Amino acid sequence: MTNSNLTIIFSSLGHAFMHMFAAFYFIIVLSIESDWELSYDALIKLWSLGALLIGLGAIPFGWLSDRWSRSSMMVIMFFGMGLSSIICGLSSSALGLFLGLSILGLACSIYHPVGIAWIVNSSKKKGRALGINGVFGGIGIGSGAFIAGFLLKFFSWNFTFILPGLMSVLIGFLLLFLILFDKISFKNTKSEFIHEKNSTNNFIIISIIMLCAIFGLGLTFQIMQTSLPKIFDIRLNNYSTFKIGSTIGVIYFISGLMNFIGGILADKYSLKNIYIYGLACQAPCFFAIAYFSGLPLILACLAAAMFNSSILPAENILLSKFTPPKHHGLIYGCKFIIAFGSGPLAVFFVAQIYKLTLEFTILFIFSSVLMLLIFFLTLFLPYKHNNLKISN
């Protein structure tokens, strides 16, 4: 098996585990609540620092991986997630659980700036590799609640933390073994000609456009993800909570598959065109969500999620082309701080609009207009061509 294929495998596993670890506490906390006889709000706050560190840790870990070894940083991530999850499982107090969850959030922050830069610089078919990786991220998001619920049904909440933690540590040892025996490169692989040289003025223009696009995409995604359960509750007649959750799960599972299709397209067609058309297509979807109900609403939400997911491989490759390879970890760290940073703003918008109108029509009209503005802005990206090669 080639170095590139092994990189895809371990990066994809890392993506799935990272999202699983970031999500499964929300289910486990329900069991701890009854076991410790503490209130839900007190226990959920124990994750606050960990959630914050998932974003804040991205830039320093991305910077460190650029200067040291991305593959070795992934080993640290697997060990860090696994050991911190085990610490959580062995905790007998709120303080111990808080420390374990905080370290878990910090370990999770390694993935996005390191794992994506690792794939981009070691894969020949970058779009395909990023697409596969994106599908595993979706699996991780969906599996977090399922795995936690399944383990809690048969075991204690402690074991629900410990078993996934042991699996993560085991994967970390396997990756370390492959690095030590030179099956996976310790040194960072670089992509020749992936970087497009631009003037200072062009670089400033590119930076402004991409930052605005990433923030806008992140904000609209968070708005939709946050408000969707309540929208379905309001507009879908006779839908139980289980049915609403299942419908939303199907939507995001299908959208995760679109990440793979978008990656294949990114290897064959213009990255800029894929990106701008994907942005443009989201605008009518959000406008439809503002007014539709019933089955048309579900289809509009599915289309919006699919277009959002399908352009992510193109976005990540564009970022790599506009940035020198030695700074890829740092630039992906910046990207995910911006993307995750839009979450609190999205929650604020959702809460305020619902408080004022008891609906979300205005919110999705805003999302539609925002996508159109970003579409017009990205038309000015001074993008040239693909021309990608790999070398050690």
Question: Per mean pLDDT, which of 41-55, 82-96, 207-221 is the most reliable?
Answer: 82-96
Q: Which CATH number fits domain 3-188: 1.10.3720.10, 2.60.40.10, 3.40.1800.10, 1.20.1250.20?
A: 1.20.1250.20
Rounded to an integer, the average pLDDT of 62-79 is: 91
CATH number of 200-391, picked from 3.30.390.30, 1.10.10.10, 1.20.1250.20, 3.40.718.10: 1.20.1250.20
User: Residue 167: pLDDT band by 50, 70, 90 thresholds?
Assistant: very high
For residue 34, give Cα distances in angstroms to 40, 45, 126, 203: 9, 16, 47, 55
Query: Higher pLDDT residue, 346 or 283?
Result: 283
Name the burial class of residue 97, with classes exposed (0-12), middle (13-18) and buried (19+) by CB atoms within 10 angstroms of its CB: buried
At residue 52, does pLDDT exceed 90? no
Q: Quick one: pLDDT at residue 54?
A: 82
Residue 389: band (very low, low, confident or very high) from pLDDT cuts 50, 70, 90: very low
Res 208: pLDDT: 82
pLDDT number for residue 41: 74
Q: Specify the pLDDT at position 367.
A: 96
pLDDT for 198 beyond 60: no
Residue 349: pLDDT band with limits 50, 70, 90: confident
Percent of the chain predicted with pLDDT > 90: 32
Determine the pLDDT at residue 120: 78
For the cut 90, the answer to whether the pLDDT of residue 39 exceeds it is no
pLDDT for the residue numbered 391: 38
CATH 1.20.1250.20 location in the chain: 3-188, 200-391
Tell me which of 23-27, 76-80, 293-297, 315-319 is least confident.
23-27
User: Is the pLDDT assigned to residue 241 strictly greater than 80?
Assistant: no
The number of angstroms, rounded, from the C-alpha of 2 to the middle of its chain's C-alpha atoms is 26
Length of the chain: 392
Report CA dihedral (335, 340, 341, 343) to the nearest 10 degrees.
150
Q: Phi/psi at 390 (nearest 5 deg)? A: -120, 140
* pLDDT of 2 above 60: no
Distance, in Å, from the CA atom of 264 to the CA atom of 252, rounded to the nearest integer, reads: 19
Dihedral in degrees, nearest 10, Cα atoms 150, 19, 33, 83: 90
At 108 the pLDDT is 92
pLDDT computed for residue 96 by the predictor: 94
Beta bridge partners of 373: none
pLDDT of residue 199: 55
